[in-house]
Amino acid sequence: MMLEHLFGSRTRVKLLRLFCRHPEQAFFVRELTRKTNEQINSIRRELNNLEKIGLLKFELRDKKKYYQVVNNFILYPEIKALILKSRFTIEREFVSKVKKFGTVQYVALCGYFVDDPEAPVDLFIVGKVSKNKLAQLLEKFNEGFGYEVRFTVIDLNEFKYRKEITDKFLYEIINRQKIVLVDKIYNNL
């Protein structure tokens, strides 16, 4: 990954993603190991590094260290922008791989990708794709981001039917914030 080469550590990149995505939240060490799926020693080492440069601060609560990003750290806006831009690059690569798994008429990134935790899914695909290959790809993606992507795949006929009956789930996706990466549906309806 591009950021791992730039920052020199997969663990550091996962931590940066997590802290940039939740700048208002404080995390304790064991919680970070679960969320990033990384070893506790590498988490501690990277937290120490990020604290030394001033990007993170900690406070003791119930004998646990809780770490949080320092929003007014001089490089925080640039680091956050870099993390978001790298996410976009990965998303494009992800979609190009999904297109190879079958026929794709529509791909929308929701939820996690647009910082909308209330969205019903993170990835919405209309088409016929190999669910096994998609699951394998998502497993790699989940590992890289430390987040389990919630997804839905429906075929074009089901999409049309759900749209016709004003399906609540479908309209919640349609009406929420999203990034549409592939849209062959509205040109053909």
* Residue 175 exposure: Cα atoms within 13 Å on the Cβ side: 9
**pLDDT tens digits along 118-147:** 899 988 999 998 888 888 888 877 766 657
Tokens linked to 112: 């996690």
Domain ranges of the chain: 2-74, 90-188
β partners of residue 103: 128
- Angstrom CA distances, 101 to 16, 46, 92, 185, stand at 31, 37, 15, 18
Q: Is pLDDT larger for residue 188 or for residue 91?
A: 91
**pLDDT tens digits along 15-29:** 988 898 888 999 999
- pLDDT at residue 187, as a whole number: 56
What b/e string do you get for 45-56 counting C-beta neighbours within 10 Å, with b at 16 or more?
Answer: ebbebbeeeebb
Three-class SS of residue 126? strand
pLDDT at 81 over 90: no
CATH class of the region 2-74: mainly alpha
> For 60-86, what is the mean pLDDT?
88
What percent of the chain lies above the pLDDT cut of 70? 90
Strand order through the sheet with 27-28 = 27-28, 64-69, 56-61
Of 59-68, 117-126, 145-154, 163-172, the least confident: 145-154
